[in-house]
Amino acid sequence: MSNTFTSTPTLVDSGRVSASQTIRTTEAARLGDLQNYCFAYGGTGDVVNQCWDAGVLYIDNASSGDICEWYIPRPSNLHNTFKFRVACFTTKSGSSVQCEIKFPISGNTYTASTIITDGSRYASVFEELTVSITGTETELYCICRLNVTALSGSGSIVEISNVAGRWSPLTSPLNTSPLGQGSDSFIPQGISRLGQDFPLPARFGVQTIENIEVLRKRGRTLLNWSGAERFSSLVSPAKGLGIADVEVMFSKAALFAGMNQVNLDVDIFLRIVNHSSGTSFDIFGHRLTPATNGWNSFGVTLRLDESPLSNEFNLSMYRVGVENTETNGNNLLNFNNRVSSDMYISAISIIGV
């Protein structure tokens, strides 16, 4: 019994699964194939994607180290290959970039690094790093860090243009045992057993419903941004969110109005510097009060009104991000709130389903 799938799968004919129709092996086989495909490929789009304009993010020898970090979702316990692409160049051969994946609960870290090959902006290639998760990890959220090492010497810099990261999909066939997604289990479907002249057991229907419940929990990045932690004295990229960011620091995303009824929430992660007790920020319709420096997490319900774009896309569309409120005007970085002394958000990740 092989838990195979096709890429891309042939969808079930919706006209053949109504109560008045005979159950054909074609629909059962396609439904099993689709489940396996969704487990392998669901959530493997970009989980981080950020760009900087020309001349914005320089790193020299004095500022080498961890530059940015993002909270990202992981599709399942079996998705163990992370592809991280960096568009960058260096003025001195031998400088390098590194990607680190850290699991917050276990504390385990996995890294990959490469020497930068380009000598000018967008010269020939993007550097691609492959981080392999070699241990047994069951956490569905982790931290992605960008580290840059610029060689010493006069005029030696590394310029970062953009980064993008995604988990690699699984290959066919899937393992024959139950597959872990955090603490949940997905039951892969044996396609050969769904073919002609085989019985269609009731457990196929039960497992299909249970598999849908597992897959609908899979995390999806709605917004991800990180300020630059270290950089050359020649430039001044953003280190944190300021009052002008309320106009741009959001995305328009499709979410499902029934999330609250099935206990699905949106997870917001804020990385805080210079923590000050009682300082709050308005994000995605909620007032959030971080408790400490570093990463703070909040699980929030869907309570915003839908965006007018819902009518255009025929989906429930929402504005996901930092709100334009008086509280944010007072507490985000501004003329009176400075990175040297005041509390600010150095990174934000909003992850839905």
pLDDT in tens, 244-258: 999 999 999 999 877
> Which token pair is 173?
């066939």
Integer CA distances (angstroms), 12 to 23, 24, 27, 34, 219, in order: 12, 11, 6, 9, 25
pTM above 0.85, yes or no: yes
Cα(227)–Cα(56) distance, rounded to whole angstroms?
A: 12
293-304 residues labelled b (16+ CB within 10 A) or e (exposed): eebbbbeeebee
Q: What is the pLDDT of residue 197?
A: 66
Q: What is the pLDDT of residue 1?
A: 53
266 secondary structure, DSSP code: E
* DSSP states of 329-343: HHHSB-SSS-TTTS-
> 277-326, pLDDT tens digit by residue?
999 999 999 999 999 999 999 999 998 999 999 999 999 999 999 999 99
The answer to whether residues 86 and 146 touch, using CB atoms and an 8 Å cutoff, is yes
Report the number of secondary-structure helices (H) and strands (E) in the chain: 4, 19
- Domain ranges in the chain? 14-43+171-215, 46-167, 238-352
Question: Does the domain formed by 46-167 have CATH 3.40.1050?
Answer: no
Radius of gyration of the chain, Cα coordinates, nearest whole angstrom: 23
Q: What is the pLDDT of residue 332?
A: 97
Extract the residue ranges of the chain whose pLDDT is less than 70.
Answer: 1, 124, 192, 195-197
Evaluate the CA torsion angle 112, 116, 120, 125 in order and state its sign. negative
Q: Which residue stretches of the chain are H helix?
A: 25-41, 202-215, 309-313, 326-331
The answer to whether residues 214 and 185 touch, using CB atoms and an 8 Å cutoff, is yes
